[in-house]
Amino acid sequence: MTEAPKTNLVGLTKSAIEAYFVGLGAKAFHGRNVLKWIHKHGVIDFDAMTDVPQKLRDQLKQQAEIVVPKIALVQPARDGTTKWVLELADGQHIETVHIPEDNRDTICVSSQVGCALDCSFCSTAQQGFNRNLTTDEIIGQVWLATRELGRIPTNVVMMGMGEPLANIDNVVPAMDLMQEDLAYMISKARVTLSTSGIVPALNRLRDLSDVSLAVSLHAPDNELRDQLVPINRKYPLEQLIPACKNFISSDKRRKITWEYVMLDGVNDSISHAKALIRLLQGVPSKVNLIPFNPFPGSDYRTSPEERVEAFRQRLKRAGIIATTRKTRGEDIDAACGQLVGKVRDRSRRQFKRIPVVQEHVQ
């Protein structure tokens, strides 16, 4: 007889772990205590959980496990950013990035191994899609970062590898755990899901979670967006924009963050800015301009700094809050769109790389 697979407790939300413990014939509060041990105290050894009765611990050891991702490689960048390449139980690799700033620090979390969406300017796309991450693999990245840093990060962005809304069933419980009082206690305003715009999943998300929303817009019209973000052919702007408005409609103070990668000569002219202003009329918005981060094999170039600034000023004049994202972790391929999830020998590539110097405007 083969043994039933053990349940990994790392991915269970409060209600799920309570139900699991009740299913074992134990009290729900023991489940809550174990959740606290795992996420608040970082304890993954059942025997160290001193308030769990010995008999229950023995039962847990038989039927459950606490498995977190392993660090395959740590890469510190010159600017303080750190990239962790993590190895999952099946040998796959994903990347998690820590970005410290003056008054906050952000963890950039992956939701899939690879990505199926094929955005033309993103290096994860080149790797293709491999599989969805499980809830424990998603929250496991926050668990690991918290242990490595010795503190809970202030912000989490679902902006690593993959499309979170293509894995909504595993992403939502992980984001619940990020916000859970017994776990990381990060407020909903500081947990951000970034999507390229899978409209039906976005409509579902509205009923499941009220985290902050960032949308990878990158173009002000369908013709251009079809090329840059091919999922636009399925869910064009006339569907995406109302779905985004609807997502934040429950609270007047909420805004959508529109991500807009600045590609030299492609989407960065003043007429693009004007079209963007028209598109976002009546939508509570913030625009985050992202200087394109080059990677080997990409044909795009980064927009010159003056053009990014002119674009930003044009949006500002129209009353739209617009910021330019600082590129971080560039020297370790940890910047937006550079995550590829492979452990490989970079020594040769590093030699060949032409350093790109970017000055950034905040």
Site for ligand SAH contains 134 (CB under 6 A): no
Q: Indicate which single residue of 277, 290, 320, 340 sits in contact with ligand SAH (rule: CB under 6 A).
A: 290
Active-site annotation holder among 115, 119, 122, 336: 336
Q: Which is nearer to ligand SAH, 16 or 290 (CB)?
A: 290
Q: Which is nearer to ligand SAH, 59 or 222 (CB)?
A: 222
First to last CA, the chain: 61
3-state class (DSSP) for residue 122: coil
Stretch that binds ligand SAH, among 9-17, 92-100, 286-294, 354-362 (CB under 6 A): 286-294
Count CB neighbours of 181 within 10 A: 9
Site for ligand SAH contains 241 (CB under 6 A): no
CA–CA dist 154, 163 (Å, integer): 22
Q: Which is nearer to ligand SAH, 66 or 107 (CB)?
A: 107
Interface with ligand SAH: number of residues (CB under 6 A): 16
Site for ligand SAH contains 216 (CB under 6 A): yes
Q: Which is nearer to ligand SAH, 18 or 259 (CB)?
A: 259
Q: Indicate which single residue of 82, 196, 267, 285 sits in contact with ligand SAH (rule: CB under 6 A).
A: 196
Site for ligand SAH contains 195 (CB under 6 A): yes
CA separation, residue 332 to residues 99, 112, 316, 327 (Å): 13, 21, 33, 12
Site for ligand SAH contains 143 (CB under 6 A): no
Q: Which is nearer to ligand SAH, 26 or 214 (CB)?
A: 214
Q: Indicate which single residue of 85, 99, 122, 277 sits in contact with ligand SAH (rule: CB under 6 A).
A: 122
Active-site annotation holder among 95, 163, 180, 330: 95
Site for ligand SAH contains 159 (CB under 6 A): yes
Q: Where are the beta strands (DSSP E) in the chain?
A: 7-8, 64-65, 70-76, 82-87, 93-100, 105-108, 112-114, 129-132, 155-158, 191-195, 212-216, 256-262, 285-291, 321-324
Query: Which residues are bridge partners to 216 per DSSP?
Result: 259
Q: Indicate which single residue of 20, 143, 292, 311 sits in contact with ligand SAH (rule: CB under 6 A).
A: 292
CA–CA dist 104, 59 (Å, integer): 41
Site for ligand SAH contains 163 (CB under 6 A): yes
The count of C-alpha atoms lying within 13 angstroms of the C-alpha of 15, restricted to the half-sphere facing its C-beta, is 3
What sign results for the dihedral spanned by CA atoms 48, 51, 52, 53? Answer: positive
Active site residue 238: no
CA–CA dist 128, 326 (Å, integer): 27
Q: Which parts of 209-258 fold into alpha helices (H)?
A: 222-228, 237-247
Q: Indicate which single residue of 77, 289, 336, 340 sits in contact with ligand SAH (rule: CB under 6 A).
A: 336
What stretch of H or E contains 144? Answer: helix 135-149
List of residues contacting ligand SAH (CB under 6 A): 119, 121-122, 159, 163, 194-196, 216, 259, 261, 290, 292-293, 336-337
Cite the active site residues: 95, 336
